[in-house]
């Protein structure tokens, strides 16, 4: 960090006259000229390719041959797998024993105790809806799996986050690891996970944990760091030991952040339920995949909506719990003095849960009443709507197919040709130059090394193809995200309406809506682009809303006092001041888009995503691993370039 900041003034001094966007423009203009002059003259030289995929294949062979005899498997991986298997089985057993009555009562009472009445009502309705939709058992399997994954993620994430919050050195060491875990698409590490942990619940838990740990670590670290220095210093001046400071001051004050970490971990875990099903995760993922395999999109959506409902319920519950922790720290915030002690209430909650469960057993209503009709009815309606929308004689298809075709002809294909047919050294040179202009020397080196690595691994062409898809998706995501975000920040009612839609889009598995998208936009790169835009836009909206809302009221008041209209306040005050948050949105948007690149590979997007899919599905481990690494490299390049920007602005 400090090295970067000190390097910057020097660079600025050397390029004093042009603004940064103009400098980027110049770089791109040079690249364009080189493209026109030297199109296709300099493909990646075959002499500069190292057959890394073959090395991976050899490693894979060794693992398959040795996994039953080598100590590493016998005494390490197998034990982890067994432990996780038992954890999931145990939680599942508890849920089965509680029966639907007990589970619903548990969810409701626990939220009532820690999150409040309104959320408890929401949670109660959500759990009942699993039964109504006819997917109670599957939902509980998914819940057991998810709870296990969240428990393991927090057991790793919170201590690591506390460490990262207290030690700069650990923070620096762990950040790239977290980046890797978040950027490598879950699909890419399914095969390695299967090799080490076999299939089934343990593998599904591990795959989920890899994905869900980073937010737990990051948010915890942020919370611990955010504890005001005065509080820590005061405690220290009173003679508290490091340990006492941690447990007495830092952790309690960071509790709200940690709770938000739990919240994000849950959302992450739920978003890969379907993928986990491919390696034996079971539960709702199985129902969805099975429905899709016989083209019953309606049923797939009904089953997925249970995932979405679960996500929304748990999100609101943990969020409300976090907010309450905040409130309880400031008693003047209006919280009534509780009539009973906290401990009594907690005990009462658990006694009541047990009572509900036992009563359900005693009265023989332990299995949910048969309401298969409801789910089928909704699925039927959804299927009718989809059939109508897909019908080429109806007004939707002509519009979508026109849009899809032109997105390819005017956006995706020209950009792909531009990136992959320009001289390779010119592409790397421009990327390096842009990284230098935008983010400084260190990020420039990282970008240069990683882009070169993509070529060396022998996937330059697919890499540039994927880059073009990511760039087009990012532009669309930012367009919709920023526009909708501004509207949502200005009109609270609109925000209320789109919030559940945002949640749904973030947790609804992409494969569910791929079939209608394929029917509407035809196969190829477009369905992948649309899937990534749908997935990434909610995050951008959220960050833009937060950014605009957090603009200091004083600045807004001042502008109003000078007679600025609402539009002027928005354009001249709020948006410029919210720029750091919007830039964070750009950065996060790119990462989210990249996460869906694999899906694009699945539906004709080709490129690196296809390489990963083939790696898993056709047993080409080496090719899959190389494609995953290339996606990772591309992700870090894009992330670092935009993040560098961010750091500088926020300073």
Q: Which of residues 357-416 bind another protein (CB under 8 A)?
A: 357, 390-393, 404-406, 408-409, 413
Task: Please select the residue that binds another protein; options are 182, 277, 430, 587, rule is CB under 8 A.
Answer: 277
- Which of 159-167, 274-282, 425-433, 456-464 is the region at the interface with another protein (rule: CB under 8 A)? 274-282
Minimum distance from CB of 595 to another protein (Å)?
A: 17
Q: What are 461's two structure tokens?
A: 């062409």
Q: Judged by CB under 8 A, which of 206, 314, 602, 646 binds another protein?
A: 602
- 134: three-class secondary structure by DSSP: coil
Nearer to another protein, 232 or 417 (CB): 417
**Nearest approach, Cβ of residue 536 and another protein (Å):** 20
Q: Which two tokens stand for residue 235?
A: 């405690």
- Rounded distance between C-alpha atoms, residue 450 and residue 106, angstroms: 49
Task: Work out whether the CA dihedral 153, 155, 160, 161 comes out positive or negative.
Answer: positive
Distance CA 435, CA 447 (A): 7
For the bound state, the minimum distance from the C-beta of residue 364 to another protein, rounded and expressed in Å, comes to 14
Nearer to another protein, 16 or 395 (CB): 395
The first and second tokens of residue 560, run together, are: 């109003």
Is residue 421 a contact point for another protein (CB under 8 A)? no
Nearest to 451 by CA among 261, 640, 202: 640
Please tell me whether residue 637 adopts helix, strand or coil conformation: helix
Q: How far is the CB of 347 from another protein (least distance, A)?
A: 5
Closer CB to another protein, residue 247 or residue 402?
A: 402
| Closer CB to another protein, 311 or 519, in the complex | 519
Encoding tokens for residue 495?
A: 């925000």
Residues 139-168 that bind another protein (CB under 8 A): 140-141
618 binds another protein (CB under 8 A): yes
465 binds another protein (CB under 8 A): no
Distance of closest approach, residue 134 Cβ to another protein, in angstroms: 11
CB-CB neighbours of 376 under 10 Å: 15
Q: Contact letters (x/-) for another protein, 53-82, by CB under 8 A?
A: -----------xx-----------------
Alpha carbon distance 152, 260 (integer Å) = 16
Q: Determine the interface stretch with another protein among 221-229, 263-271, 470-478, 617-625 (rule: CB under 8 A).
A: 617-625
185 versus 585: smaller Cβ distance to another protein: 185
Give min distance, CB of 128 to another protein, in A.
Answer: 18
Compose the 118-137 pattern: x for residues touching another protein by CB under 8 A, - for all others: -------------------x
77-106 binders of another protein (CB under 8 A): 85, 88-90, 92-94, 96-98
Nearest to another protein of 143, 259 (CB atom):
143
Identify which of residues 142 and 443 has a Cβ nearer to another protein in the complex: 142
Residues contacting residue 305 through CB under 8 Å, at least 6 positions apart? 133, 504, 508
Nearer to another protein, 175 or 346 (CB): 346
CA–CA gap between residue 396 and residue 165 (Å, rounded)? 51
Binding-site string for another protein from residue 315 to residue 354, where x marks contact by CB under 8 A and - marks none: -------------------------------xx--xx-xx
Choice between 7 and 96, CB closer to another protein? 96
Shortest distance in whole angstroms from residue 637 CB to another protein = 26
Rank residues 244 and 290 by Cβ distance to another protein and give the closer one. 290
Q: Judged by CB under 8 A, which of 403, 617, 647, 648 binds another protein?
A: 617
The residue within the footprint of another protein, chosen from 157, 462, 524, 644 (CB under 8 A), is 524
Q: Which of residues 476-515 bind another protein (CB under 8 A)?
A: 511, 514-515
d(CA 600, CA 592): 13
- Number of C-beta neighbours around residue 567 at 10 A: 9
Question: Under the criterion CB under 8 A, does residue 190 sit at the interface with another protein?
Answer: yes
Sign of CA dihedral 479, 482, 484, 490: negative
Name the DSSP class of 339: S
Quote the CA–CA distance of 132 and 120 in Å, as a whole number: 18
Q: CA-to-CA distance for 470 and 598, rounded, in angstroms?
A: 11
Judged by CB under 8 A, which of 56, 138, 149, 264 binds another protein?
Answer: 138
Q: Which of 458, 609, 452, 464 is nearest to 531 (CA)?
A: 609
Number of H helices, E strands in the chain: 34, 0
Q: Tell me which H or E stretch contains 419.
A: helix 413-421
Number of Cβ within a 10 Å radius of residue 471: 18
How far apart (Å, rounded) are the C-alpha atoms in residues 305 and 565?
42
How is residue 451 written in tokens? 């882009």
Interface with another protein: number of residues (CB under 8 A): 79
Interacting span for another protein (CB under 8 A) from 124-132, 251-259, 485-493, 603-611: 603-611
In the bound state with another protein, the residue whose beta carbon lies nearer, of 345 and 483, is 345
Per-residue tokens: 53 = 């995929």
Q: How far is CA 518 from CA 390, 503, 603, in A?
A: 10, 23, 8
Q: Tokens at residue 214, please?
A: 């980073």
Distance CA 338, CA 406 (A): 62
Q: Quick one: CA dihedral 366, 372, 375, 378, positive or negative?
A: negative
Choose between 294 and 562: whose C-beta lies nearer to another protein. 294
Minimum gap (Å) between residue 201 Cβ and another protein: 5
The C-alpha R_g of the chain, in whole angstroms, comes to 26
By CB under 8 A, the residues from 285 to 304 that bind another protein are 285-286, 289-290, 292-296
Distance in Å, CB of 357 to another protein, minimum: 8
Nearer to another protein, 404 or 448 (CB): 404
- Quick check: 218 and 160 in contact, CB under 8 A? no
């Amino acid at each position: 960090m400090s090295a970067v900041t000190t390097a910057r003034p020097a660079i600025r001094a050397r390029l004093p006259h042009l603004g940064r966007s103009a400098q980027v423009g110049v770089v791109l203009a040079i690249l364009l000229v080189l493209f026109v002059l030297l199109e296709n003259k300099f493909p990646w030289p075959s002499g500069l390719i190292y057959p890394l995929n073959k090395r991976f294949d050899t490693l894979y062979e060794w693992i398959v041959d040795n996994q039953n005899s080598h100590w590493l498997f016998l005494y390490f991986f197998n034990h982890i797998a067994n432990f996780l298997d038992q954890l999931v089985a145990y939680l599942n057993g508890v849920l089965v024993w509680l029966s639907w009555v007990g589970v619903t009562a548990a969810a409701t009472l626990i939220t009532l105790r820690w999150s409040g009445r309104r959320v408890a009502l929401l949670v109660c309705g959500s759990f009942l809806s699993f039964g109504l939709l006819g997917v109670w058992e599957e939902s509980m399997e998914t819940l057991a799996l998810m709870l296990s994954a969240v428990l393991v993620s927090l057991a790793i994430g919170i201590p690591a986050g506390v460490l990262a919050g207290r030690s700069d050195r650990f923070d620096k060491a762990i950040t790239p690891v977290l980046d890797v875990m978040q950027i490598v698409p879950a699909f890419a590490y399914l095969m390695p996970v299967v090799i080490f942990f076999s299939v089934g619940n343990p593998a599904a838990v591990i795959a989920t944990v890899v994905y869900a740990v980073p937010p737990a670590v990051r948010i915890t670290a942020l919370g611990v760091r955010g504890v005001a220095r005065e509080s820590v210093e005061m405690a220290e001046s009173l003679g508290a030991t490091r340990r006492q400071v941690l447990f007495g001051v830092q952790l309690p004050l960071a509790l709200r952040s940690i709770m938000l970490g739990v919240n994000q971990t849950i959302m992450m875990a739920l978003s890969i339920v379907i993928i986990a099903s491919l390696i034996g995760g079971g539960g709702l993922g199985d129902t969805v995949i099975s429905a899709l395999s016989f083209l019953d999109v309606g049923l797939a959506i009904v089953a997925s909506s249970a995932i979405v409902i679960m996500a929304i319920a748990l999100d609101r519950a943990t969020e409300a719990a976090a907010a309450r922790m905040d409130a309880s720290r400031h008693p003047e915030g209006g919280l009534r003095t509780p009539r009973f002690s906290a401990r009594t209430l907690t005990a009462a909650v658990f006694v009541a849960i047990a009572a509900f469960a036992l009563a359900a057993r005693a009265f023989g209503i332990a299995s949910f009443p048969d309401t298969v009709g409801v789910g089928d009815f909704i699925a039927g309606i959804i299927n009718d709507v989809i059939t109508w929308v897909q019908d080429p004689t109806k007004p939707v298809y002509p519009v979508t197919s026109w849009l899809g075709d032109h997105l390819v002809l005017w956006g995706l294909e020209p950009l792909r040709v531009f990136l992959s047919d320009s001289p390779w050294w010119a592409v790397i040179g421009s990327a390096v130059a842009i990284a230098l202009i935008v983010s400084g020397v260190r990020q420039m080196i990282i970008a240069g090394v990683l882009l070169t690595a993509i070529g060396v691994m022998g996937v330059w062409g697919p890499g540039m193809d994927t880059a073009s898809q990511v760039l087009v998706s990012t532009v669309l995501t930012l367009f919709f995200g920023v526009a909708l975000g501004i509207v949502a920040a200005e009109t609270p009612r609109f925000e209320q309406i789109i919030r559940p839609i945002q949640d749904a889009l973030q947790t609804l598995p992409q494969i569910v809506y791929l079939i209608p998208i394929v029917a509407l936009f035809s196969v190829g790169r477009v369905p992948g682009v649309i899937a990534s835009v749908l997935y990434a836009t909610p995050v951008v909206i959220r960050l833009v809303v937060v950014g605009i809302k957090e603009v200091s009221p004083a600045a807004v008041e001042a502008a109003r006092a000078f007679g600025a209209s609402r539009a002027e306040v928005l354009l001249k005050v709020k948006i410029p001041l919210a720029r750091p948050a919007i830039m964070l949105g750009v950065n996060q948007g790119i990462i989210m888009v990249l996460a869906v690149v694999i899906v694009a590979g699945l539906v004709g997007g080709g490129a690196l995503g296809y390489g990963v899919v083939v790696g898993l599905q056709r047993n080409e481990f080496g090719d899959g691993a190389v494609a995953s690494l290339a996606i990772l490299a591309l992700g870090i390049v894009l992330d670092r370039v935009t993040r560098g920007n961010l750091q500088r602005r926020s300073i």
